[in-house]
Amino acid sequence: MKPLRMALTKGRLEKDTVALLERIGCDCQAVHNKGRRLILPVGDSLELVLAKAADVITYVEHGVCDLGVVGKDTIMENGSSFYEVLDLGFGRCRFALAAPAGADFWSGYSARTIATKYPNVARSYFESKGMDVRIIKIEGSVELAPLLGLSDAIVDIVETGTTLKENGLAVISEICPISARLIVNTASLKLRKREIEALVEQMERETAGKREAGGNA
């Protein structure tokens, strides 16, 4: 039987995911010595594919990876033609609306401009408030946009709040909590049900304490 393939978001979620896999008994030696390799064996039954967050979703949706680990932020922005089976309890942060500290974002009638890496999330947030805004997509360091005078505010992920603070910005409104999720391709869940359920159960048991301690984001 070929190994199950799991796409893993490179960077912030990588370390916590590998630590979790090791706690459930997976041999992650190849990941620790990965060099520039992008597909790594984890024992005989699992293979890890290191990818950018949005690509994790693409690979799982198309079925070339059976499972994926990705932030809820990426799921909210990029759709969900897959099963989201588990809140892994790490990678905790939140979506927030932020603006220059002291600015009165809500008053006045002119349409506001919002910069964000997450235009879909921003659009649905302002739709839910019945507010008409102009949204500008920025690829990274969105905090720059209000500082440069491009936008009135940003919708972004906030973890420690340090980036906002050090750039004179402040949260105006919390939008929703975020954490890492385990996702599964819909066909894989049927075709390889037993193996996937066994893996999900182990991961669920191992993360239960964390989820309960941190609330269920």
Minimum CB separation of residue 121 from ligand PRP in Å reads 12
Nearest to ligand PRP of 9, 188 (CB atom)? 9
Q: Give the residue carrying structure tokens 């939140």.
A: 94
Q: How many residues does the chain have?
A: 217
Write out 100-136 in H/E/C secondary structure.
Answer: ECCCCCCCCCCCEEEEECCHHHHHHHHHHCCCCEEEE
CB of 115 to ligand PRP, least distance (A): 11
Q: Are 66 and 184 in contact (CB under 8 A)?
A: yes
Q: What share of the chain is helix, strand, coil (3-state, %, to 5)?
A: 35, 30, 35
Smallest gap from Cβ 73 to ligand PRP, in A, equals 9
**Nearest distance in Å: CB 163, ligand PRP:** 3
Residue with smaller CB distance to ligand PRP, 74 or 185? 74
Closer residue to ligand PRP in complex, CB, 159/201? 159
Angle between helix axes 14-23 and 193-214 (nearest 10 degrees) is 110
Identity of the residue, 65 or 138, whose beta carbon is nearer to ligand PRP in the bound complex: 138
Work out how close the CB of 209 gets to ligand PRP at its nearest, in angstroms, rounded to a whole number: 24
> Which residues of the shown chain bind ligand PRP in the complex (CB under 6 A)?
140-143, 156-163
CB nearer to ligand PRP: pick between 77 and 143? 143
- Classified as helix, coil or strand, 54 is helix
Angle at 182 between CA 176 and CA 187, to 5 degrees: 125
